[in-house]
Amino acid sequence: PEVYEELPEDERIALVNALKAKWDSVNAQYQKITHLVKLDTTGQLRRKETLEATLTKIENDIQRLDR
């Protein structure tokens, strides 16, 4: 969009906290599969890649809001 509206500080902090909670949740799922030495199926590999991408996106969103 051409016009960006600045978030009020309390909304920004609430959004960052919600993103951090989501990151914790996704990271917990990711940690459960990272101990597997060998990912046997394409489903396991796809799940791992999806979780990695999700974690990266959430991290980027948190950094963007912390500026």
- The pTM (predicted TM-score) of the whole model is 0.82
Per-residue confidence in pLDDT tens, the chain, 67 aa: 678 888 899 999 999 999 999 999 999 999 988 877 777 788 888 998 999 999 999 999 999 998 7
Whether the Cβ atoms of residue 39 and residue 48 lie closer than 8 Å to each other:
yes
Best CA proximity match to 67, nearest among 8, 12, 4? 12
Q: CA–CA separation, 67 vs 28, rounded Å?
A: 26
Q: What pLDDT sits at residue 1?
A: 60
Alpha-carbon 19 to chain mean position? 7
- Supply the pLDDT for residue 58: 98
Give the residue among 46, 19, 20 at the shortest CA–CA distance from 33: 46
